[in-house]
Amino acid sequence: MKEDLGQKSGEGTTLIRILNSKTKEELEEFEIANRAETIMEVRRVLTKRNLMLQLENKCQNFESSIQKFHGKFNVLNRKGLPCLIEIGDKLIRLDDY
pLDDT in tens, 52-88: 999 999 999 999 999 999 888 888 878 877 666 555 6
| Residue 88 φ/ψ region, left for φ over 0, alpha for ψ in the -120 to 50 degree band, beta for the rest | left
| Contact (CB, 8 A) for 32 and 16 | no
pLDDT on residue 59: 97
* In the chain, domain spans: 2-91
The share of the chain scoring above pLDDT 70, in percent, equals: 74
Tell me if 13 sits within 8 A of 42, measured CB to CB: no
Under 8 Å between Cβ of 42 and 16: yes
Q: What is the pTM of this model?
A: 0.59
Average pLDDT, the chain: 81
